[in-house]
Chains A and B, each alone.
Chain A
Amino acid sequence: MTLQTTAQVANHQEPTLERPAATQPSKPVLIRLEHLSKTYAEAGQARAVLDELNREFYTGEFVCLLGKSGSGKSTLLNLISGIDAPSSGDVTIYDGAQAVTITALSEHERTIFRRNHIGIVFQFFNLIPTLTVLENVTLPLELAGKHQQMRRHAVELLERVGLADRINTYPDKLSGGEQQRVAIARALAHDPLLVLADEPTGNLDDETGETVLKLLLELTRDAGKTLFMATHAPDVAEQADRVLHLVHGQLVNDQLSTAQG
């Protein structure tokens, strides 16, 4: 199966695709990478950070992406989320009956897609400092136009991350672990298709990191969401359904964990 370009779509009526044959029959494909490459110009020379990646990821899967600093983990997350555009290749995200090739969308459309379907957890939390804890969690709902019972839903999520009593607190009054728990609630608030986490425990001590990781896994698994996590902590990989190493722009050691159902 091949995906069609914008021009091809325009020339055909009702183009249809079959869902790719999954290696895991029980899990439908959520993300498909096709010949995905990203090249940066450095001192007048092109450096390929991602080189012709071809992969499929499944709904409800916890994918752990390992690699050294500068190996391209964050770049891959940025391409999947539509924050950045690839040099070549495609990223397709399957939303129920629809498949959206986000690399073919405009920057504006990618942003709209991201606000509606992707939750992101950052290494440095990236909470909005001028908004309270509750407002930070309701922000993705407001961005996505999901105003109905917005507050109740956000409070429920904050209860689950153990911060229901801090809803009116500003982020600068929270510890790193608490801020990351707010960020997790924020990433899940608008019921995204997948959650991308870029070194979510990288800025926390071991104990707090473990608690945060456990919470992130618990919430994403309960919600049936796909979690795509970039990290360079090998112990996180033990809990993942699939572990990928990003080496010299290639995804290697693709392992299917026995923990996967």
Chain B
Amino acid sequence: MSIQTTAPTSNRSQFSVKTLLRLAWRYAWRRPFQSLFFILGVAIGVAMIVAIDLANGSAERAFALGTETITGRATHQIVGGPSGLDEQIYTRLRRELGYRQSAPVVENYVIATTLDAQPMRLLGIDPFADQPFRSYLGEGDAAAGASATFLSDLMVRPNTVLLSQDVATRYHLQTGDQFPVRIGSRTANLEIVGLLAPSDDLSRRALQGLLITDISTAQEVLQQLHKLDRIDLIVSNDAAGRAALAKIATILPPGVRIEESAARSGAVNEMTAAFSLNLTALSLLALVVGMFLIYNTVTFSVVQRRPVLGSLRALGMTRREVYVLILAEAGLLGVIGTALGLALGVILGRGAVQLVTQTINDLFFVVSVREIDIPVFTLV
């Protein structure tokens, strides 16, 4: 007779995953409240993370989109102090230096009182000088291209604007309609002389919070006569470009400087970075609370079931199988909780984006978010 001190080879673990999953599922099913708390713990944690991430992301993307629309292809900007620039600088730039790759801009936020009182950016431009900078007035884009008729209307008739086709459709407006805007305590009536409908989605969304007008109209409406907010420049990134910048710098009065466009938007991003970080930290706190709930629920379920787990061990379930059983249970409920949390997060995100936007508008700069982006990365 042979004697052995190891288990016979046929005694390998043959316990099926199906049985394990059934044990896990049955426990979850027969303890509905416990399972519900577990699922809620996961769902709340995930929902908070997703909601805050979506709100942050949407606000940032809306801002980036807005900046991109306004900055266009400008590489540099001439900017002054809080009172802006004298428009003579632009005149000297074009006449004395003959620098054609420049476009004046006057801009500020106005409240479109009849359009849900939303803040809209009134962008005053020179339609001819502006064409190399911003594509929505470009002739090459048939859908977006503003016709010669409304461009001339824009320059000749006072208080006229171009509006996004989407906004016009949403508020049942058409060419020729007038609507009031509030600038501080004053009110002005603006007339729509053309609708912009870019073919690509990005430009369409970028134009949603924008009122484009001639620079003289913007100066009158915003009461910035003979003043500009900035002058956009396109400067090549070579020796000739650097020489041009140096030449431009010679005509600038004290307090007026040249900045790179990217640096300018970067500075604004830095302003909101701390705010975004706070929100992210708070959402992580929610996740920590969720994890604490999960930890407690799992611990409770294990402690409560010690006699059952003991019976399973006595019947021949290995430590590893018991461990996998508990993990399978947690995984099963975790997947349900995560799915629920993602859906809840998207719903919460829609509410949170309004709050985040409001705070950014109040504390930092004006940003208008009409919809939330749901990037796959956030959900993953």
Contacts and interface: CB of A to CB of B under 8 A. Distances in A.
Interface of A: 3-6, 9, 14-19, 81, 83, 92, 94-95, 97-101, 104-105, 107-116, 118, 120, 122, 126-131, 135, 139-140, 142-145, 147, 186
A202 B14 CA distance: 34
B3 A112 contact: no
B317 A99 contact: no
B4 A99 contact: yes
Nearest to B5: A104
Interface stretch (B19-27, B76-84, B204-212, B272-280): B19-27
A120 B319 CA distance: 18
Nearest to A18: B1
A97 B3 CA distance: 9
A142 B19 contact: yes
Contacts of A129: 30, 308
A81 B314 contact: yes
Contact of B7 (A99, A105, A130): A105
A133 B341 CA distance: 36
A17 B316 contact: no
A129 B27 CA distance: 9
Contacts of A113: 7, 11
Interface in B290-321: 307-308, 310-320
A98 B1 contact: yes
Interface of B: 1-8, 11-16, 19, 22-23, 26-27, 29-30, 307-308, 310-320
Nearest to B316: A115
Contacts of A18: 1
A143 B3 contact: no
A100 to B, nearest CB: 6
A97 B319 contact: no
A147 B310 CA distance: 23
B9 to A, nearest CB: 11
The main secondary structure of chain A at its interface with chain B is mixed
A142 B320 CA distance: 16
Given A107-B319, A130-B23, A145-B15, A120 B2 contact: no
Given A129-B308, A131-B26, A116 B5 contact: no
B19 to A, nearest CB: 5
Given A129-B308, A142-B19, A100 B8 contact: yes
Nearest to A116: B11
A100 B4 contact: yes
B12 A126 contact: no
A97 B2 CA distance: 7
A16 B6 contact: no
Given A99-B2, A142-B19, 13 more contacts: A14-B2, A16-B3, A17-B3, A94-B1, A100-B7, A100-B8, A105-B5, A111-B319, A115-B11, A116-B316, A122-B314, A129-B308, A147-B16
B1 A19 contact: yes
A108 B318 contact: yes
Contacts of B315: 114-115, 120, 139-140, 143, 186
Nearest to A115: B316
A131 to B, nearest CB: 6
B333 to A, nearest CB: 15
Contact of B6 (A92, A105, A118): A105
A46 B30 CA distance: 44
Contacts of A140: 315-316
Contacts of B23: 128, 130-131
Nearest to B12: A112
Contacts of A4: 3, 5
Contact of B3 (A9, A105, A130, A186): A9
15 contacts: A17-B1, A17-B3, A92-B3, A98-B1, A101-B5, A109-B11, A111-B316, A114-B314, A114-B316, A128-B308, A130-B308, A131-B26, A135-B22, A139-B315, A143-B19
A144 B3 CA distance: 22
Contacts of A122: 311, 314
Contacts of B317: 111, 115, 143
Contact of A144 (B1, B7, B314, B316): B316
A112 B7 contact: yes
| Chain B CB within 10 Å, residue with most, of A9, A98, A112, A140 | A112
Nearest to A183: B311
B16 A130 contact: no
A108 B322 CA distance: 12
A-B pairs, 8 with minimum CB distance: A115-B316, A145-B14, A104-B5, A126-B311, A109-B7, A130-B26, A99-B3, A112-B11
B267 to A, nearest CB: 60
Contacts of B15: 142-143, 145
A240 B314 CA distance: 25
B162 to A, nearest CB: 68
B318 A112 contact: yes
Contacts of A108: 318-320
A233 B308 CA distance: 27
Nearest to B10: A116
A112 B13 contact: yes
B11 to A, nearest CB: 4
